[in-house]
Amino acid sequence: MAEVEIVKKFKVLNQYGIHARPAALLVKAAGKFECDIFIEKDGNKVSCKSIMGLMTIEGFPGSTMQVTTSGADAEEAMAEIGELFANKFYED
């Protein structure tokens, strides 16, 4: 099985940034996949499957986050994570 690694950058577009609700959505989405998913900002890297991690990463509105997915279903995972960012976590 080929090990796929995808790296993409997303802008936080919702009004309040990555607070509890968007964090929960990200964790829920990430949890469906087998692959490793990490979110990185300013040299801080946390698992996208950790609520606590996402709430410490300081995802201010307007900031850019780097998402890395690696594993068999990396592509599908990246698509789903990207959808959440693009739709402002269904807020506003």
CA 13 – CA 32 distance, rounded (Å): 23
Closer CB to other proteins, residue 48 or residue 84? 48
- Coil, helix or strand at residue 80: helix
Q: Supply φ then ψ for residue 8, to 5 degrees.
A: -140, 155
Based on the shown chain and the rule CB under 8 A, indicate whether residue 11 belongs to the binding site for other proteins.
Answer: no
Closer CB to other proteins, residue 58 or residue 86? 58
- Coil, helix or strand at residue 8: strand
Give me the 22-61 binding string for other proteins, x by CB under 8 A, dash otherwise. --------xx------------xxxx-xxxxx-xx-x---
Report in angstroms how near the CB of residue 58 gets to other proteins at its nearest: 8
Task: Given the residues 19, 51, 75, 76, select the one marked as catalytic.
Answer: 19
Active site residue 60: no
Q: Which amino acid is at 72?
A: A
Q: Rounded to a whole number, what is the distance in angstroms from the first to the last CA of the chain?
A: 41
Q: What residues are labeled active site?
A: 19
